[in-house]
A and B are shown apart, each in its own frame.
Chain A
């Protein structure tokens, strides 16, 4: 829920373990305590999508949690996140956009030891779109007071044996019927692609085929659709910048268009009640689908520069539930 600075401060003073999202100026005014936070001024709230620099999105760790540990991680220690996570519980992670830690996590997280054995969910901190180039994304470690443009902050939460954490996504995009696209090299920036056995310049391909780059590349990961979103196409340099890395040996296709985001989102929500402890959605969905003022069901949370469900995702709503076992 969105809360003002004073209200958030009272929760911290009461000893609550909190996962926070807010503008840098708001987070900087909070007292030390059991919280971590990341910068962003866009949110989905119960009343709909909203931009605010004055209020903070507060996620309280569920009362069923039996323990909470807050840690910061630099690039070298990121692979330890799953090993540091409790055997039964979940880890909430925030990385600052465009930091070496963000890029490293995006490339390497799928290969971290135990990564899929421990639920890790989180988001990429960002900034107001009007502030891009003027300021940087930051993470806050409320326990130490450290504010960082680089470090990941993590809240590891333990659960009792009767509870289990479960991470799921709602991705409106699926592979379209266009060309199968592969890439000879992995990375956030690509020059060449392989289509129909030929090597082509990817920027030229996108432009000559008038591809709508608001639609992501989509890969089928054994039933899970994983998006890679377009950042920029540089015709002169012949390069394409992406918001997540593409990988070798993965087949991508441009996504099928989504006609009405809110309607299709609502239709795609799992049947029955979804009761997320935490959820986040992508800034590109917020902007392209004009979600400001619109509601996306009961699912609320920060609007982010990338979503983490074990690994980095793009243009995907991601949520965590804590369920009873058995």
Chain B
């Protein structure tokens, strides 16, 4: 079961405070892009929430093939 969107670890992931090497290609490309975007939009809470929404939507859709990565990030 994927962590709730309100779980602060999503924010840590998109801010780059949690670093993880993804085995899944689109996951790595997405997280790398959003981490750069969050740095660029530092302090913009609306932009941060939009990025969390995007990442949450991706992991929700592909949860079944991202179990190892989700386990490493969320325990």
Known contacts: A116-B29, A223-B28. The answer to whether A250 contacts B36 by CB under 8 A is yes
Known contacts: A110-B33, A111-B33. The answer to whether A325 contacts B64 by CB under 8 A is yes
| Contact-size category for A | 20 to 34
Flag whether B70 is at the interface (Cβ < 8 A): no
CB distance from A250 to the nearest CB of B (A): 7
Cβ–Cβ contact B40 & A249, under 8 A? yes
Cβ–Cβ contact B25 & A222, under 8 A? no
Cβ–Cβ contact A223 & B22, under 8 A? yes
Encode contact with B along A146-180: 1 for CB under 8 Å, 0 otherwise.
Answer: 00000000000000000010111100000000000
Flag whether A311 is at the interface (Cβ < 8 A): yes
List 27 A-B residue pairs with CB atoms under 8 Å apart, sorted by A's residue number.
A110-B29, A116-B26, A116-B29, A116-B58, A117-B57, A117-B61, A167-B25, A167-B26, A221-B28, A221-B31, A221-B32, A221-B33, A222-B20, A222-B21, A222-B22, A222-B27, A222-B31, A222-B32, A222-B35, A223-B20, A223-B23, A224-B28, A224-B29, A226-B29, A249-B39, A310-B26, A311-B29
Cβ–Cβ contact B65 & A164, under 8 A? yes
B36-59 at interface with A (beta carbon < 8 Å) = 36-37, 39-40, 57-58
CB distance from B25 to the nearest CB of A (A): 6
B56-75 at interface with A (beta carbon < 8 Å) = 57-58, 61, 64-65
Residues of B near A310 (CB, < 8 A) are 25-26, 29
List 6 A-B pairs, minimum CB-CB distance, nearest first.
A223-B21, A224-B28, A221-B32, A116-B30, A222-B28, A223-B22
Closest Cβ neighbor of B33 among chain A residues: A110
Of the candidates A110, A116, A224, A326, the one having the most CB atoms from chain B within 10 angstroms of its own CB is: A116
Residues of B near A166 (CB, < 8 A) are 65
A323 CA to B39 CA, complexed, in Å:
36
Known contacts: A166-B65, A326-B64. The answer to whether A224 contacts B22 by CB under 8 A is yes
Residues of A near B58 (CB, < 8 A) are 116-117
Encode contact with B along A235-276: 1 for CB under 8 Å, 0 otherwise.
Answer: 000000000000101100000000000000000000000000
Contact residues of A with B, CB < 8 Å? 110-111, 116-117, 119, 164, 166-169, 221-224, 226, 247, 249-250, 309-311, 325-326
CB distance from A162 to the nearest CB of B (A): 12
Residues of A near B31 (CB, < 8 A) are 221-222
CB distance from A174 to the nearest CB of B (A): 12
Given A116-B30, A117-B57, A247-B36, 5 more A-B residue pairs with CB atoms under 8 Å apart are: A110-B29, A166-B65, A221-B33, A309-B25, A326-B64
Residues of B near A169 (CB, < 8 A) are 25
Residues of A near B23 (CB, < 8 A) are 223
Closest Cβ neighbor of A309 among chain B residues: B25
Q: B36 is contacted by which of A164, A224, A249 (Cβ under 8 Å)?
A: A249
Residues of A near B36 (CB, < 8 A) are 247, 249-250
CB distance from A249 to the nearest CB of B (A): 5
CB distance from B33 to the nearest CB of A (A): 5
Encode contact with A along B9-30: 1 for CB under 8 Å, 0 otherwise.
Answer: 0000000000111110111111
